[in-house]
A and B are shown apart, each in its own frame.
Chain A
Amino acid sequence: MLDVKNLIVFFENAIALNDFSFQVNDGEFVGVVGPNSAGKTTLMNTLSGLIIDMQIKEKRKGGERITVYGSIVYRGRDITQTKPSERVRRGIVLSRERHPIFPESSVLENLKIAGFLRRKQEIREGIDFAFQLFPALVALKKKKAGFLSGGEQQMLAIGMALIVKPELLLLDEPLLGLSPMMQNTLMDAIVSLNKQRGITVVLCEQFARPVFPVIDRGYILENGMLTLMGTGKELMQNPEIKAAYFGI
């Protein structure tokens, strides 16, 4: 489904992704785990095309020079230079890190804004589905999204991504700043999206513990480079990872 080859991303002279290659197959759940500043967000922005927009806007302002090398092929088409809105149309949907919601609008309005590309009927179905997946949101639908708790905001963020009907869902640190219990709730929901709805998921996280047990394949990203890969089980058994991520 997704074939990324030799991706190199520079912000001015600082390298954020260094020769990154990986594949994602249809229906897979892929985890990318790495510490802060490993390049996870840059990877997500590059896959979703946000980096193209950042590139254009920085250039207009005469700001930071962003350079991208390599190729991203999605369903047989090269999308390396495709605008983010076009990638969304083709089913690649990113949920950004730090609860990407519209704080001044109500929960319901947030979901409607997210459905910009969809028809009224599809939005209605999407909203029903989001409420079914996260029943906690139903009681909050008139509330301003900015007043929700971190966990509620993250549920909303994932609900918003679902309205777009993703085929490839990119999740950038969805567990950031959440309690272990909320992390479990969210991971359960994400797994059900992958297994029952057949949505292909690529998830970036710092926490390995909730991620490795549920993913099909995982990658370890450090300093913009892939250092290890394997199935979730293989990674959990790896002594280096045990020491670095599980503290055993």
Chain B
Amino acid sequence: MFAGTLVYAIVNSFTLILLAIGFNLTFGISGVANFAYGALYVLSAYLSWMMMNLLGLPFFPSVILSILATTLFGALMYRLVLLRVRGQALSEVIATFGIGLSILELFRYLGFVGFEYTLPVFFDHSFIIAGTYIDMQRISIVVLGFLLVVLLWLFTHHTSTGLAFRGIAQDERTALTFGIDSDWIATLSVSLGAGLAAIAATIIIPLGSISPSEGYDVLIKALAVCIIGGLGSTGGVIAAGFFIGFAERFTDTYFGSHWTMIVSLIAILIVLVIKPSGLFGQQKELEERI
């Protein structure tokens, strides 16, 4: 039982990391808390579904098109809406949450609810690892989650745009003196965050179904991971992803599944009491203020 729990805990951890990494990237670079994040996740899944089931496109072109479309949507969201309220944190949250609500509730209104709304798995195959059945999709989550983290690290450490991202995140005005345009980088960061949400949806949705309520769940999970890890810190997202991922699975196995829901909430409470900026957070002002 222990080995099985361990395997599923790893899968769960990577799921959480995949869910949170885009939200975290956007916040870390441009300071925009994108509350439409969960809606973008669901939007891309519905787009893939529509392209496959209504237009009859094959799987891979559909998901790639929908990931690109969601990325573009993120950029437009920044250019058309967020740019007008930049620098006012509360307005940014309200604006993004409003956009998220309208997307999710529009799908609910149009009746996109039910088990038929799902995406196919990449490979229909399963293994036995450490005496536990595990399917290819869950293995894909681990592999692709790991790959994505490595790629993001390479991007932010070895490409000029990635380095500019980190420059803007640390000191916007100094970055400006080197010709780094803060509005352009912020647009990129929101659209890249949206693209990461879409990638996460493509990998994770096949295990369940697409529904508007999934959007809210994803937002809450991403927020939980980011708050515990420290908003804007990639290391924090990984640590918090593993922390919650393991805590949830072990609670499920040894205490019962109805306790898993409160694990992340309790973790948030403990972190907020002991270290309000999160495990790896560097928002000292926040800590000092509290």
Contact = CB atoms under 8 A, between A and B. Distances in A.
Interface of A: 48, 50, 53, 57, 60-61, 63, 83-85, 88-89, 93-96, 100-105, 109, 112-117, 160-161, 164
Contacts of A96: 173-174, 177
Interface string B174-197: 111111111000000000000000
A209 to B, nearest CB: 27
Nearest to A164: B178
Given A109-B157, A109-B163, A84 B176 contact: yes
Nearest to B163: A113
A198 B63 CA distance: 55
A84 B179 contact: yes
Across the A-B interface, the 5 shortest Cβ-Cβ residue pairs: A88-B179, A113-B167, A100-B174, A102-B170, A61-B87
Nearest to A49: B176
A160 B170 contact: no
Contacts of B167: 102, 105, 113, 116
A94 B163 contact: no
Nearest to A163: B178
A57 B174 contact: no
B30 to A, nearest CB: 13
B108 interface: no
B187 to A, nearest CB: 14
Given A57-B87, A60-B83, A113-B164, A85 B179 contact: yes
A88 B178 contact: yes
Given A48-B177, A89-B179, A96-B177, A103 B163 contact: no
Contacts of B275: none
Contacts of B151: none
B79 interface: no
Interface of B: 83-88, 157, 160, 163-164, 166-167, 170-171, 173-182, 282
A63 B160 CA distance: 32
6 contacts: A60-B84, A61-B88, A84-B179, A105-B167, A113-B163, A115-B160
Given A48-B177, A57-B86, 14 more contacts: A50-B177, A60-B83, A60-B84, A60-B85, A85-B179, A88-B177, A100-B173, A102-B171, A102-B174, A115-B178, A116-B167, A117-B179, A160-B178, A164-B178
Contact of B176 (A53, A95, A115, A160): A53
Nearest to B164: A116
A48 B163 CA distance: 22
A94 B175 CA distance: 11
A200 B88 CA distance: 39
A61 B164 CA distance: 24
Contacts of A60: 83-87
Nearest to B91: A61
Contacts of B85: 60
Nearest to B159: A112
Contacts of A53: 173, 176, 182
B144 to A, nearest CB: 27
Contacts of B182: 53
Contacts of B166: 102, 104-105, 109, 113
Contacts of B84: 60
Contact of A113 (B173, B175, B282): B175
Contact of A100 (B86, B87, B171, B282): B171
A164 B157 contact: no
A112 B179 CA distance: 13
A160 B174 CA distance: 11
B170 A104 contact: yes
A129 to B, nearest CB: 16
A73 B135 CA distance: 67
A203 to B, nearest CB: 15
A116 B160 contact: yes
Contacts of A160: 178
**Listed residue (B83, B163, B175, B178) with the most chain A CB atoms within 10 angstroms of its CB:** B178
B84 to A, nearest CB: 7
B87 A116 contact: no
A115 B158 CA distance: 12
A50 B173 contact: yes
A85 B173 CA distance: 11
Contacts of A57: 86-87
A241 B179 CA distance: 37
Nearest to B165: A113
A93 B175 CA distance: 12
**Listed residue (B164, B177, B178) with the most chain A CB atoms within 10 angstroms of its CB:** B177
Contacts of A88: 177-179
Contacts of A63: 87
A57 B176 CA distance: 13
Contacts of B177: 48, 50, 84, 88, 93-96, 100, 161
